[in-house]
Amino acid sequence: MLLSSCNISGNAVAMTATALATEGGAAVLAAHTVLRQVLALCQTSFACFNVATQSLVATSLGAEQPQQARAMLLRTGQLAVCTALPLAGLLWMGQAQLVHLFSHDVAVVDETLAVLPLLILCMVWRGFVLGGAHDAGGT
């Protein structure tokens, strides 16, 4: 039930953002699409942490070792954040080059570059959440 709720809430946010971007016109919608692609690429960087955290925490909790589960959660969270920091730094330094991989349209590039710094600043938090801390906390 928790997983389905997380999926529904995540998709609802994406659908709402897409609907709002559609109202902004073609350049805003294209920028939104570029940002979603960048976010999707970054999220795959954290998938291994998600699986490892859920497995390690569930194993520890199943063995009735909550202290070990907490330690595993902390370690994998630290690894995810340590992965997110350099990734965010690379994205920050290569913002313009990254956007130009997706589009050369001046309006799309300008719209994307206006929002991309906010996405990058959230990268460390996303690394922690996608690193499995959020999902494992529900197990």
pLDDT (tens digit, 9 = 90+) per residue, 14-37? 778 788 888 888 999 999 999 988
Considering its fold, how many domains does the chain have in total? 1
Q: Where are the alpha helices (DSSP H) in 24-105?
A: 26-44, 47-62, 66-93, 95-102
Residues 26, 103 contacting (CB under 8 angstroms): no
Of all residues in the chain, the percent with pLDDT exceeding 70 is 81
Higher pLDDT residue, 90 or 11?
90
Domain of 50 in residue numbering reads as 2-137
For the cut 90, the answer to whether the pLDDT of residue 130 exceeds it is no
The reported pTM is 0.72
Higher pLDDT residue, 124 or 43?
43
Average pLDDT along the chain:
81
Burial of 21 (0-12, 13-18, 19+ CB in 10 A): buried
Q: Region 33-47: what's the mean pLDDT?
A: 83
